[in-house]
Structure 1
Amino acid sequence: MPLLHYLVVQKRSSTSGLLRRRPRPRQTEISEKRRLIVMIAMSLGAFGIGTTEFVSMGLLSMIAEDFQITEDTAGVVITAYALGVVVGAPLITALTGMIPRRRLLLILMAAFTIGNGLSVFAGDYEVLLVARFIAGLPHGAYFSVAGLSAASMAPVAQRGRAVAFISMGLSIATVIGVPAAQALGSALGWYTAYGLVAVIGLITIAALWFLMPHMTQMRPTNPRTELGALKRSQVWLTLAMGTVGFGGMFAVYTYISWTMTEQAGLDPSWIWLVLMVYGIGSVAGTWFGGRLADRNLEFGILFSLIMIAAVLTSFYFTSMHPVLGVVNFGLVGFFGTSLVPSLQIRLMDVAGDAQTLAAALNHSALNLANAAGAAIGGMVISAGFSYSAPALAGTALALAAILVWGPTFFLRRRQLARRAESTEPTTESA
């Protein structure tokens, strides 16, 4: 009998040991290898977000046919997602400052997965719009929290590279995720593309659950603290640079299919290659932008804006040639995305204790740039100009962003000088 009792106790002990969750380490306790693995897990979530954001553009015709609506009406699906990003980024980050960052990332990815899961089972157009709005809500907040977490775990001199690593997931999605989801949607129905994204979300949740450490170096905040970012002029000026400067890229991207077929005479069957070249340029540009931010943050932003203006001007002329136009379009993706890590790091520096909201607002600004750039490009074409002309409108936007950079840079330098003067120890004369 004692032997039987001993075996039962041992059995229960071993079972509870298997079921008991191992305590997660603090961020200061993980190795460099573990930090890299955690960043890959967070980047996988960015990959899923990038896939769902861009694949909708290629699914519109199928959605329109399935619900018996026009493609213009189906395009509101994209607007619904973008609206979710713009609304969700500041709202979620302002209200969730007290939630530990690890837990918040899991919640955000769960909401993202639910939104895409609902998209799969949307029985009518209205339900699909709601599902896309829900899927967009955690977009900006996820990138904000994941980027700040990566920067918090990284050495100070590598913050730009850490933020760029997370953004790399979105860029890689344009090369791999979007074509794969598009092919799946074309073969089995548009809803299966969102099903693939939901699966990516589930894998990300599992990876974060087992790998993400407790972010003890990231202090909790409250809504009042986060909203304090809106009182800082440097936050607004940085957001303005992103909204204006990034808009030119979307003025070209939105109409690239017509530009390359109507202006350059490219066969429509090769548009996938055009988009892939752009995606490869974005991946390389994100990598380059991270190192640019670590090397010289302020002048890195200026360099990116100058190069955006240059490559957009060049695209106006090269878009008449299929090969040169495709290569130039890849450069548009390269220098456009090189701007993002620097803007993210700058917002972290100027936002004080409200870094989460400021970083999330960056993604709201970039989505506004998406909408504004597309609208401006559309107005240029509607005015009777060629499909190449939006590139010059994009150049004007980049130049306008450079004009914003000037006073922003000098105002920041003056603020830092005043802060340094106020902290210098005073010496009394004898």
Structure 2
Amino acid sequence: MADRGFDLEGRLDALEEHDLKRALSPVDRVAERGYFAEPSGGDLPVLDSAEALVFASNNYLGLTDDQRVQDAARQAAATVGTGAGASRLVTGDTLVHRDLERQLAETKGTERALAFSSGYAANVGTIAALEPDVVFSDELNHASIIDGCRLADTETVVYDHCDAADLRARLEERVERAAREGREPADESWLIVTDSVFSMDGTVAPLEAICDAAEEYGAWVMVDEAHATGLYADGGGVVQAEGLEDRVQIQLGTLSKALASQGGYVAGSSDLIECLCNDARSFVFSTGLAPPAAAAASEALHVARHGDARERLWENVAHLRDGLESMGFEVWGDSQILPVVVGDRRDAIALADGVRERDVVAPAIRPPTVPEGTSRIRVVPMATHDRDDIIACLEAFQAAGEEVGLL
């Protein structure tokens, strides 16, 4: 009988041959430093004896081990329960969820918000529930946005990265196409979707120009603030920093990055949230966000809004960027994400290995995650890194860069 299974060994060999195979490397805790283990497959991991500084995490404000956030999670587990136990539409809707959503809506300047089990679920569920006729999507949007478009079975028009002029041209092309076909473009529903901060390039979308184009052509705007929530004005994102709350119909984000928890959210009008409660399959058919996760995110958002963590993060970002550029490294982006672009994937891997040998964790990012020829080290400080940590990171890059021959 023919074997109709899958050649898993061949797939793994191909990944290995092209320097694309990834492996899990456990750490003892999620913070600005920790003890890592070598990849161990299915065996029990063994932690290294040396502590390493972490400059690769999305834990931007360093709140995962903040006592206030941990206490909020513990209290929710003790008083509400460790899990929601059911879909929010059945018995999994708790006061902890409602408190989180109230604070998210207040921060994002919207009528309501809705918490999902993950940011991925929020994107996929929202796009699929809206069922737009056409989505205009930035070419570097997150995979969850791409998959949401696929699930919605919508026509997707991709525009050049962070290029509002190209977006406007694509919108105009769509109008002209409708005219040629004898249709009214008003018969279609159009959705423009973009990340606000792009996770691999560190770039920030030109949201005001995107809103200008959307309003001219009658489209809605959906902004994924996954890498911005908690870091900008009053703990909001780029939408808040630019005062665009009234021009962006749908705001999304995660609770798993700066807010040190797990889950995602959508913020917008009451009608939008009511529709998602009924039509977003990733919400309807998922167990509700665990109460401890909701409580942790709520407390982290409070800390982000009213503490000094945001200021400390941006000070570290400026210090690190200045240091890397003064060495001669090419650093992309306009955000807290600092991609040190190397180009060749093997050079990027060698640089990451050299930095790791000096007890700094900042892995190489290479194709297919990023385009060929743009392999990089994605360097990200946290608010909880002190000045000595930043200096240690810079010294590691200086030594490793010289060793590899990049400096």
Same fold (TM over 0.5): no
Given the two structures, how large is their TM-score scaled by the length of structure 1? Answer: 0.26
Q: Which has the larger radius of gyration?
A: 1
- Hey, which of these two has a bigger chunk of strand by percent? 2
- Hey, which of these two has a bigger chunk of helix by percent? 1
Given the two structures, how large is their TM-score scaled by the length of structure 2? Answer: 0.27
